[in-house]
Structure 1
Amino acid sequence: MSARPTIVVSSDAPDGPMAVLAKTHPDITVLGCDSYEALPDLISKSDAEVVFTIKFDRGSLYPRAALVESPTVRWVSVGGSGTDHLRPWDPARVTVTNSAGVAADMMAEYVFGAMLSFSLGLRGFAREQAARNWTAGKVEPIQGKTLLILGLGKTGQAVASRAKAFGMTTLGVRADPKPTGYIDEVHAMADLPKLWGRADFILCAVPLLESTRGIVGRGAFAAMKPSAVLIDVSRGGVVDETALLTALDGGRIKGAALDVFATEPLPPAHPLWGYYNVIVTPHCSSVYDGWDVKSARMFADNLTRYRRGEPLANVVDPGRGY
């Protein structure tokens, strides 16, 4: 650790985060990089000690090794919350932090937009409007419904607080069950088999780990109410897409709102595009104007700690994934 580390900002739009650092840490060298291909060489030539990285997709593989296996990089600060694209790493060699909570409020609004879309039947009304067809319709309240939240981190808790304002019952599961604000019942992951059937809405907000991969699978869908709606803002792989397709084809659930997928971008030929009762969005539930600058400010605060030799905030345990 040095008091004046060289920093690389890796992003498809590095100017915003770099402007934040120019104001908050004007005495240090900050280099921008908007290309995965160029990042390894830039880190090597600059002897970068710290990398602030916002993952983006431009048809090339994320240069994981250039960050967590670099001989000079000591700290990788992830601009979002997920860190599965960096695993595995040796915490004795490199520290990884994330920006958990930077988009929790926005993601909570996305979740409620999805729930209300289904409860109000907005997709059906849109179809009737396009046909200029005045039909007898009705809407359904979410008040009194039960929401099951997988993962009670910043996003899960932001959703839960809003759910209570809507008069919903909240069930939550987390790796370390303990009383959590706005959650009526907190359970362990092992309790999920007895919870699926109680939920009207099911939210996935967990990191992708070996323990969560495919956790919403065939058994889960078989236990759900036919009126249940699945919402996934976690990571592709948490939901077993083959099992989801089977459930949709069999009418096992009412529908799904999906922001993440096992393969991204979602291939044009993927069957999920064709379901009327599935909302597909391009991994954007955390993307809003200025989120990257907000994340950069969190990084700048952490950088102050780093330069002072103080403990960093939001250090990620590679074993737990958060």
Structure 2
Amino acid sequence: MTARKLLIAQNVDSSYVEKIQEVIPEWTIVTGRDKEIWQKEAPDAEVIAGWKKGMEEYTLNKEDSPLTWIQTWSAGVNSLPLEKLSSHNVHLTSANGVHAYPISETIFALMLGLTRKIHTYVRNQQSKTWDHSNLKLEIHGKTIGILGTGAIGKETAKIAKAFGMTVLGMRHSGKPEEYIDTMYSSSQLHDLLPQCDYVVVTLPLTKETHRLLGQKEFQLMKESAFFINIGRGDIVVEEDLVQALKSGEIAGAGMDVFETEPLGDNSPLWEMENVIITPHTAGSTQYYDQRVIEDILIPNLRHYVKGESPSINKVDYTKGY
């Protein structure tokens, strides 16, 4: 009888493999992010952790593929063939929640950097320029609007309370959440935006959120507002954001995600003094693999080997997240 196989398309420490093997002692576990490894192992893998572009050819396009569950190594699942996975009844679980600490830290790094002009002073340091640069803003007591109140949004709201901020949130249902003073539904976005000193996007990319924020939305924001996007680049109409920054419709932006990545050399965002750019690294942390494996993959595996569906971070195909 052929052993059941778990393919982890990542380079993970052997100590984590040992922990996983304790849960599935009779299984074959293969690890490695190089294509030469996963393209050989994917066709007969029952479970794949860490979906890679191109895997569809070796799994879903094969009539006899044993694939029944995918655990992604990212929170976003918009790059996966969701319709085909759904039609094949493949369980899909994401790494949602793994990023809550590092991304919320990045959000506040961007907010504080823009507010206290740290980006300006770094430029001044490079040219040995001693200049006040009209520093006057502070973050305490301001209003933050968090678009998307999943794990990242909730951790951001919690930290915001330490700064005495008023926290407004937006989620599809409008259901209340701890640390959020007022929750808005997605249909009330235009009511939320004018109130905010900071607008933070932590939404997943779906059909509903695609190009959600454009010219109209930036016009509704305060001229003194800062815009932060760590969600997905395609949630924002980037050319409208550039125009809003140029015209002074908003005060500045902190961007970790973009419509096209890497951000092109010709993008005006690179040269703007009121913009801080990070290269889609907001979720990077030394604890990433540990959290995916110990908090999500292994608990789900325990249920899976009992014949139950993996339930932690299970993706709803109808919602796209």
Over 3 Å counting, the alpha-carbon distance change for 1:41 and 1:211 in structure 2 is same
Per-residue deviation, 1:159: 0.3
TM-score by length of 2: 0.90
Which residue does the alignment assign to 1:272?
A: 269
Per-residue deviation, 1:162: 0.5
Give 5+ residue unaligned stretches, structure 1.
Answer: 56-60
Which residue does the alignment assign to 1:306?
A: 304
Instruction: Report the Cα distance in structure 2 between the residues aligned to 1:133 and 1:196, rounded to whole angstroms.
Output: 36
Which residue does the alignment assign to 2:72?
A: 78
From 205, 208, 213, the equivalent of 2:210 is 213
Q: Is the 8 A contact 2:91 2:309 kept in 1?
A: no
Per-residue deviation, 1:110: 0.5
Which residue does the alignment assign to 2:9?
A: 10
Q: Is the 8 A contact 1:7 1:50 kept in 2?
A: yes
Per-residue deviation, 1:64: 4.1
2:255 aligned with 1:261: no
Counterparts of residues 58-77 of structure 1 (less than 5 Å): 61-64=53-56, 66-68=58-60, 71-77=65-71
Q: Is the 8 A contact 1:10 1:52 kept in 2?
A: yes
Instruction: Report the Cα distance in structure 2 between the residues aligned to 1:29 and 1:149, rounded to whole angstroms.
Output: 43
Counterparts of residues 1-322 of structure 1 (less than 5 Å): 5-11=4-10, 13-15=11-13, 18-22=17-21, 24-36=23-35, 39-44=38-43, 47-53=44-50, 61-64=53-56, 66-68=58-60, 71-86=65-80, 87-88=82-83, 89-90=85-86, 93-136=89-132, 137-297=134-294, 298-312=296-310, 313-322=312-321
Which residue does the alignment assign to 1:58?
A: none
Amino acid at match of 1:179: P
Instruction: Report the Cα distance in structure 2 between the residues aligned to 1:40 and 1:130, rounded to whole angstroms.
Output: 47
Q: Is the 8 A contact 2:174 2:185 kept in 1?
A: yes
Instruction: Output the aligned Cα RMSD.
Output: 2.2
Instruction: Report the Cα distance in structure 2 between the residues aligned to 1:5 and 1:300, rounded to whole angstroms.
Output: 16
Over 3 Å counting, the alpha-carbon distance change for 1:33 and 1:171 in structure 2 is same
Among the aligned pairs, what percent are the same residue? 32
| 1:137-193 deviation digits (Å, cap 9, x = unpaired) | 534221111111111100000100110111011111111111101111111111111
| 1:275-313 deviation digits (Å, cap 9, x = unpaired) | 221111111111111312221222012111110123322
